Amino acid sequence: MLEQIKNTAAYIQNNISIKPEIGIILGSGLGGLVKEINIKHTIPYEEIPNFAVSTVEGHSGKLIFGELGGKNVVVMQGRFHYYEGHSMHQVTLPVRVMKFLGIQKLFVSNAAGGVNAGFEIGDLMIINDHINLFPNPLIGKNYPELGPRFPDMSDAYDKDLIAKAKQVASLNNIKVQEGVYLGLTGPTFETPAEYKYVNSIGADAVGMSTVPEVIVARHMGIPCFAMSIITDLGIFGKIVPATHEEVQQVAAMAEKKMTLIMKGLMKLI
């Protein structure tokens, strides 16, 4: 496994001329941040050894290198989901590769269903903790070169990055919620009973990504910052059938606000 990660990183390194400091993973319908990047290199996932190929509409599948808010970044436009049938190793491989490329922080975005009664469609939520209902991506042999056997998860989402993101949001008059993201496999959206359950065990939003990537990043000691766009509501009395198209439409509408926060945050760190 280590060999695979190193070979993939070496291939990429041979094709780029910058050293990324920050890794960014863009979720469903959130690719617009790419327009703000001064792009130096684009590598389609098909060309990268050991990368899976993403199959979901709205995830175009490219690794983009460039400059955003004065920082060198590597951006995953499109991610790998467990529900596509990829192994947890494949889902999280890009994060490990980004670490070998030199990233010191990881920013993650996603679309999620809101289960907090105070949330509205189109809200942004800064993730301050998570609940993992996926198989843990660290199950299997541990590689001490990557991180410890029993990694701490008490500060999965970096408090300093959260505080700075809130500063940026307030300076730009952007309303942000903050809360707990619960990750589960999908691909079904939740039943009303499941939304209620998810909320009752402490989540504010639910989605099908992010948690495996953050676990693997924290294993390697990388500080993480993550945001959800609330694209639908799993709140009693407000539940309407959720569709992937709607999720993407709402994400596209709210993504300008998210892009502003991410870019502003780059400048502050």
Minimum CB–partner distance for residue 198 and ligand HPA (Å): 9
Minimum CB–partner distance for residue 235 and ligand HPA (Å): 10
Q: Rounded to 5 degrees, what are φ and ψ at 27?
A: -90, -170
Nearer to ligand HPA, 242 or 260 (CB): 242
Minimum CB–partner distance for residue 248 and ligand HPA (Å): 9
Minimum CB–partner distance for residue 101 and ligand HPA (Å): 28
Helix (H) or strand (E) holding 14: helix 2-14
Nearer to ligand HPA, 39 or 242 (CB): 242
Matching residue, tokens 């979901």: 56
Nearer to ligand HPA, 111 or 215 (CB): 111
Tokens found for residue 191: 């039943």
Give, to the nearest 10 degrees, the angle between helix 211-219 and helix 88-101.
50
Q: Which residue is nearest to ligand HPA (CB)?
A: 113
Nearer to ligand HPA, 242 or 253 (CB): 242
Q: Prior bond to 187 cis, omega within 30?
A: yes
In sign, the C-alpha dihedral spanning 89, 35, 74, 63 is positive
Tokens found for residue 144: 């001490």
Minimum CB–partner distance for residue 45 and ligand HPA (Å): 21
Nearer to ligand HPA, 45 or 195 (CB): 195
- With beta carbons less than 8 A apart as the criterion, state whether 187 and 208 touch: yes
Minimum CB–partner distance for residue 170 and ligand HPA (Å): 26
- With beta carbons less than 8 A apart as the criterion, state whether 146 and 159 touch: no
Q: How many residues does the chain have?
A: 269
Contact positions toward ligand HPA, by CB under 6 A? 111-113, 186, 189-190, 206-208, 231-232, 234, 242, 247
Nearer to ligand HPA, 107 or 181 (CB): 181
Nearer to ligand HPA, 172 or 249 (CB): 249
Question: Quick count: other Cβ atoms within 10 Å of Cβ 158?
Answer: 20
Which of 207, 195, 206 has its CA nearest to residue 240?
A: 195
- With beta carbons less than 8 A apart as the criterion, state whether 61 and 77 touch: yes
Minimum CB–partner distance for residue 77 and ligand HPA (Å): 18
